[in-house]
Amino acid sequence: MGNAILEMHHIKKSFGATQALKDVSFSVYPGEVHMLLGENGAGKSTLMKILAGSLQADSGQIIWEGTEVKIKNPSMAHQLGIGMVYQELALVEQMNVMENILMGNVPTYGNSPMIDWKKASEKSREILNRVGLGNLSAKTRLSDLTLGVRQLIEIAKALSRNAKLLILDEPTSALTNAEVETLFGIIEHLKTEGIGFVFITHKMEEVFRMGNSVTVLRDGDKIGETRKLHEVNEDDLIHDMVGRVITEFYPKEHNTKNGEVLLEVKGLSDEKNFRDVSFKVQKGEVLGVAGLVGSGTTEIMEAIFGLRKFTSGSIVFNGKEYSQSQPNVSLREGMGMLTKSRKSSLLLHMPIYRNVTLSNIRDFVVGKIFRLKKKELDVAEEYRKKLNLHARTITLNAGDLSGGNQQKVVIAKLLCANCKLFIMDDPTRGIDVGAKVEVYNILNELTRNGCGVILISSEMPELIGMSDRIIVAREGRIVGELMEEECTQERIMKKIAGGVNHE
Amino acid sequence: MNKNSSKIAELLRNGSSILIFLILFIVMSICSPNFLKWSSMMNILRQSAVLGILAVGQALVIMAGGIDLSVGAMMALGGCVMAVGQTQWGLPPAVAVILGIALSTLIGLLNGFLTAKVGLFDFIATLGTQTAANGLALIVTGGLPISGLSMGMIVVGGRAMPNGMPYSVFVLVVVLIVGWVLLEKTTFGRNVLAIGGNKEAARVSGINVDVTKILANTLSGLFAGIAAFVLVGRLNSANALMGTNYELNAIASVVIGGTSINGGEGSMVGTLIGLLTIGTLNCGMDLLGFSTAWQKITLGIVIVGVVTMDNFRRKNMAK
């Protein structure tokens, strides 16, 4: 395969007393996709930030195309040819495609600060062609584009600086299946141009489909050697990542539902995102909801909880019928929602315990005004133990926690508000394997206690593994229902895609 | 086809402000026979000159994601130094003017430093420098109006060129062109919009966020100094409080012109339209005999109205 474009030797990095990277070495060759795996907090991001120049290693050596380099800032990384595609896209929504691609790197007349717009236009045109966006006008405002296209523009941006190595940090987490296919096609194409990739993902499917080699990090250590992907199997990799054997990835407990209907949705429509939606949820049941991005699943759930309006239909919850929902009423009656974006479920700048008691603060006041901090702390502490929340203390800010632990805080908040029905929109999105299993265990705990759960997920195996029943949404309608025993990925996909189905 | 449609989209983006301006202009022309005259037009421009020069700096700061509450105070302090320098300190007028402009620029630099390096919110930092600059201007002038300025300043502030165009309007036009070139034609302009739109994205794209921010604030100070030069000349005197409320009117010009108060987007052409809207409103209502009180009420309605229309349009375009 020739010489490595990049070698990182014995990289060490500490933050205060925490050793984020303990002697990690890592190489990437031209034209390969190098998978970098590990749970959240394993050190992947730290390693990549060092490479991209936004962090400095405490010690160690970086060799770029055979010569040792010190990468002091993002500009230097760009100059060398290292392009980082961030998970939170590093683009400006108000600017157009061309301005975004050339951000910080606009062609000028000689060394003057005057922009050569003609050259800029030609250059962005050429790069858009390279990422398969030849038909896109460079003048389109970024906010008018889908996330998938934005991802490609982010790659185009890196290519415009002649990147030879692209770092992709969970590039597919917000994309539709079709967009993922496009992205993968572009990656395959760029590989033939000799560009190397570091690919970070939590999705095993992608690891085996796209990867050439793989390195696993755990707690700042490199586990084993870098291996070729055809030499390893999924179980090995998961074992390396979590450091223990996960015998049951989907620890579903059965027979918890008791037939009593908790929620009934009758003919819900908003005439825009969803139409005539009807379904029931029983106590002790996990109802899975499958559907592509844009199928209306999120919108339906938001309407049920009261985050958006519906124009006809009604909801029967706990025996009471509602012709319109409001979040405060829903919560009071015991329906809680865990939104897709954790940022909109949590006050990230506030301590854990305040987040936990947020939706049920009534129970923590005397005389309607004075907050009982002691009681808040006690209750939050109780949930910390119960949900196995990994936080040193509950006075830590929610924003300092990892994704999985943030999710647990949201669940604690809903539990604290005495919720009986939990609507969870992609609860394991972007959280690592170990934390996922813990979320699944909490699901079991909930159903065992007679709570109902509506689970929306972008990951098919998770839906199949954890649901008692799955309903499938397409274009805002419920197009099918599958009992647990008849759920297979093929059947669900068929219904999602709307293929002819005579079963 | 593509080019045309993007031009139309661009025009629509400036739509609300142009629309309001045109309506205002037509109404004024119909209501007041004296409005549509060269002299009234020049009057609008002359009266807008000081505000316009400030608005260009303000626009840069707002597009970079900040706000500058100190433009009026920087201008007042700069102007007072120019006046006191030549009448009391015995400086040659040119030196006094340069000193005044330098001082405004320095305060702008300080604003940039406080926001970019110390990490203060723009609102707080510039509120602080505004207050302090006001106090400093009172000390410099001893709280008294200063008059007896050199002829050169009076000419630039108040007189017209042989062709009938006031010098102050000429200065405004030059500053506007400089602002437009900076924003549209230089990397600095793109960087301003980038840091205003998404600071983190700009940082990882290799843009020097701090330097860009400091430069935007410094330019705002520089333009405040130039505005002081024009204002003092026009008034033929200087006093410590002559900048009061200018910062708010400058923000109004920028916002009426379609620039987002959140930063990241906006244009100098829009700012000019916003400026002319305010100028037309004030001059036209003067001609029609409305008091300042009514002018203020109308301006308030226009500010809220234009931004509301903008929001509506953006939502509709997003659909």
- CATH number of the domain where residue A23 is located: 3.40.50.300
Residue A126 placed within a domain: yes
Dist CA B153 CA B8 (whole Å)? 43
Which letter, b or e, does each residue of B99-134 get, where b requires 16 or more Cβ atoms within 10 Å of its Cβ?
Answer: bbbebbbbbbbbbbbbbbeeebebeebbbbbbeebb
As a whole number of Å, the end-to-end CA separation of chain A is: 49
3-class SS of residue A103: coil
| DSSP structure string for A192-261 | HTT-EEEEE-S-HHHHHHH-SEEEEEETTEEEEEEEEGGG--HHHHHHHHHSS--S-SS----S---S-E
Structural domain harbouring A357: 342-419
Residue A442 placed within a domain: no
Q: Chain A residue with minimal CA distance to B184?
A: A115
Identify which has the larger pLDDT, A331 or B63.
B63
Residue A41 placed within a domain: yes
Task: Answer yes or no: do A320 and A384 share one domain.
Answer: no
401-430 of A, contacting B, C-beta below 8 A:
none
Residue A52 placed within a domain: yes
What sign for the dihedral angle of Cα A329, A334, A337, A343? positive
Task: Answer yes or no: do A378 and A330 share one domain.
Answer: no
**Residue B317 predicted with pLDDT over 70:** no
- Sequence letter at residue A426: D
- The answer to whether A285 contacts chain B (CB < 8 Å) is no
- Sequence letter at residue B68: D
Task: Answer yes or no: do A38 and A149 share one domain.
Answer: yes
Dist CA B176 CA A173 (whole Å)? 45
Query: Do A3 and A66 form a contact (C-beta atoms < 8 A)?
Result: yes
Q: Of B202, B253, B264, whose CA–CA distance to B64 is shortest?
A: B264
Query: Do A411 and A422 form a contact (C-beta atoms < 8 A)?
Result: yes
Confidence of residue A118 (pLDDT cuts 50, 70, 90): very high
Q: Which residues contact A343 (CB under 8 A, 6 or more apart)?
A: none
Quick one: average pLDDT of B87-99?
93
What phi and psi, each to the nearest 5 degrees, are found at residue A184? -65, -40
Confidence of residue B204 (pLDDT cuts 50, 70, 90): confident
Tokens 């723009």 correspond to B122
**Residue A500 predicted with pLDDT over 70:** no
Task: Answer yes or no: do A395 and A369 share one domain.
Answer: yes
Q: Say what the pLDDT of residue A497 is.
A: 66
Which residues in chain A have their CB less than 8 angstroms from residue B203's CB? 54, 74
Q: What region does A236 belong to: left with phi over 0, alpha with psi -120 to 50, or beta?
A: alpha
**Residue A353 predicted with pLDDT over 50:** yes
A450 HSE (CA, 13 A, CB side): 8
Q: Say what the pLDDT of residue A502 is.
A: 40
Q: Say what the pLDDT of residue A31 is.
A: 92
What's the CA angle centered on A207, arms A206 and A208, to 5 degrees?
A: 95
Which residues in chain B have their CB less than 8 angstroms from residue A108's CB? 187
Q: Say what the pLDDT of residue A97 is.
A: 93
Task: Answer yes or no: do A110 and A207 share one domain.
Answer: yes
Task: Answer yes or no: do A78 and A188 share one domain.
Answer: yes
Helix (H) / strand (E) containing A469: strand A469-474
Dist CA A424 CA A436 (whole Å)? 13
Q: What pTM does this model have?
A: 0.77
Quick one: average pLDDT of B234-243?
92
Task: Answer yes or no: do A322 and A354 share one domain.
Answer: no
Quick one: average pLDDT of B264-292?
90
Which of A103, A128, A161, A167 best probes binding to B when mutated, by most B CB atoms within 10 angstroms? A103
In chain A, how many domains are there?
Answer: 3
Q: Of A496, A488, A440, whose CA–CA distance to A461 is shortest?
A: A488
**Residue B215 predicted with pLDDT over 50:** yes
Query: Do A282 and A452 form a contact (C-beta atoms < 8 A)?
Result: yes
Confidence of residue B1 (pLDDT cuts 50, 70, 90): very low
Topology annotation, domain B38-311: ABC transporter involved in vitamin B12 uptake, BtuC (1.10.3470)
Task: Answer yes or no: do A252 and A360 share one domain.
Answer: no
Task: Answer yes or no: do A180 and A271 share one domain.
Answer: no
Residue A198 placed within a domain: yes
| Residue percentage of chain A with pLDDT more than 90 | 30
| Residue percentage of chain A with pLDDT more than 70 | 96
Q: Say what the pLDDT of residue A501 is.
A: 43
Residue A444 placed within a domain: no
Task: Answer yes or no: do A72 and A152 share one domain.
Answer: yes
Quick one: average pLDDT of B280-302?
89
Among residues A242, A257, A288, the one where a domain terminates is A242
Residue A150 placed within a domain: yes
**Residue B116 predicted with pLDDT over 50:** yes
Task: Answer yes or no: do A137 and A188 share one domain.
Answer: yes
How many A-B residue pairs are in contact by the CB < 8 A criterion? 80
Residue A458 placed within a domain: yes
Q: Do B197 and A113 touch (CB under 8 A)?
A: no
Task: Answer yes or no: do A53 and A190 share one domain.
Answer: yes
Residue in A90, A99, A115 closest to B204 by CB: A90
